[in-house]
Amino acid sequence: MENHLFKTSVFTSVFLIILYYVLKVLYSVWWRPNYLEKLLRRQGIRGTSYKFLRGDMEEIKGSMIEAQSKAMSLNHHITPRKVCMTWIGRKPRVIIGEPELIRTILANKNNDFVKQKLLNPLAGFLLVGVSSLEGDQWIKRRKQITQAFHLDKLKGMIPAFTTSCSNLIDRWRNLTSLEGSYEIDVAPEFQNFASDVIARTAFGCNFEEGKKLFELQKEQAALVLEAYYSIYIPGFRFVPTRKNMRRYKLESEITAILRNMIHKREQKLSQNRGLGTNDLLALLLLHSKEQSENCLTIEEVIDECKLFYFAGQETTANLLTWTIILLSMHPNWQERAREEVLQICGKKSPDFEAINRFKIVSIL
């Protein structure tokens, strides 16, 4: 009798545990996504319906491949005009296209908007440093980083900007001198340009080191995004597939390059007794030497370097590329900008005072 009761209680316990986890999974992958969809639709937010587990990831991946396979139409119908939603796996993503809403979210004065938890841990290879922090931690880290971008420090970077820009213009001039005209894909040109500028001004390293780092980060980003927009299977990132092994190898190589850059910069700082601390890497290293609760570990310094180098290079290159596209669509603005530069600078390279006098160029 006692044995029967014991078996019954064990069976009941196991059944209840299994039922609990089954219900928990169903809640996570079915009930909660559908409930959130209803809430969003009640607020007038339209979009695609939830698809079990995968959401819209296949469609998003297909759209990205299609968009990259052909030239973009030169019109202004490129962004959603109203708030809409799409699905990344079982999580809804609300796409904001209204300036006032964007301003409210970015201000985030009451910490109402928090960063989304990573659906796939592999995304942690890209979302590092200050981009992954919240609240007071984010405020402290941001204060530490923004010291590298004070006006007096930016003034000192202008010669490096001018050198990189002159090298790019000379290269283009040599290409056009052969035939009088030459078609250039400006996107990779601006990627190399931004990489060169950031390597010089933020890390005090040469172009070749910076270029190698960017190429590795670019390959890593493509592999991480491929995994992110696929159905996430917990633990699959540890399976030694060819792509998984490549992802971890790239992470190791990127970290090794940054450690070497940091080591060289530390030696230079010690030799100069702290002089030449205007760039981002030098400031981060100084914060790592502080004897306070705000000091940075070397791993945190590496994370900030990864983030700033990749995000800074990518955003700058995209901005310059898009500016050139807009100027090609509006030649009259090209002429106005060219006249202003020639009037203020003549044949000299622009300095800080000249840049402050630009009006048309500043608008662009």
Give which of 344, 336, 328 is closest to 360, Cα–Cα.
336
**DSSP string for 255-312:** HHHHHHHHHHHHHHHHHTTT----SHHHHHHHHHT-SSTTPPPHHHHHHHHHHHHHHH
Q: Give the model's pLDDT for residue 274.
A: 52
Query: 248 and 338 share a domain?
Result: no
Query: 308 and 164 share a domain?
Result: yes
Query: 228 and 346 share a domain?
Result: no
Between 347 and 259, whose confidence is greater?
259
Q: How far apart are CA 86 and CA 229, in angstroms?
A: 13
Query: 185 and 260 share a domain?
Result: yes
Query: 101 and 250 share a domain?
Result: no
What mean pLDDT do residues 86-104 have?
A: 84
Burial 327-349 (b: 16+ CB within 10 A, else e): beeeeeeeebbeebeeebeeeee
Are 203 and 309 spatial neighbours (Cβ–Cβ below 8 Å)? Answer: yes
- pLDDT, tens digit, for every residue of 27-84? 888 999 999 999 999 988 888 889 887 888 888 878 878 877 777 777 766 665 678 8
* 3 state DSSP class of 92: strand
Residue 116 to residues 133, 216, 313, Cα–Cα distance (Å): 11, 26, 24
Q: How many domains does the chain have?
A: 3
- 145 located within any domain: yes
- 46 located within any domain: no
- pLDDT, tens digit, for every residue of 227-252? 877 777 777 888 888 988 999 999 99
Name the pairing type of β-strands 91-95 and 84-88: antiparallel
pTM of the prediction? 0.74
Q: Give the model's pLDDT for residue 293.
A: 64
The whole domain housing 352 covers 330-364
Please give the order of strands across the beta sheet that includes 84-88: 46-47, 84-88, 91-95
Phi, psi of 249 (to 5 degrees): -65, -40
- 336 located within any domain: yes
Domain harbouring 211, CATH code: 1.10.630.10
Query: 225 and 358 share a domain?
Result: no
Query: 278 and 334 share a domain?
Result: no
Q: Residue 189 pLDDT > 60, yes or no?
A: yes
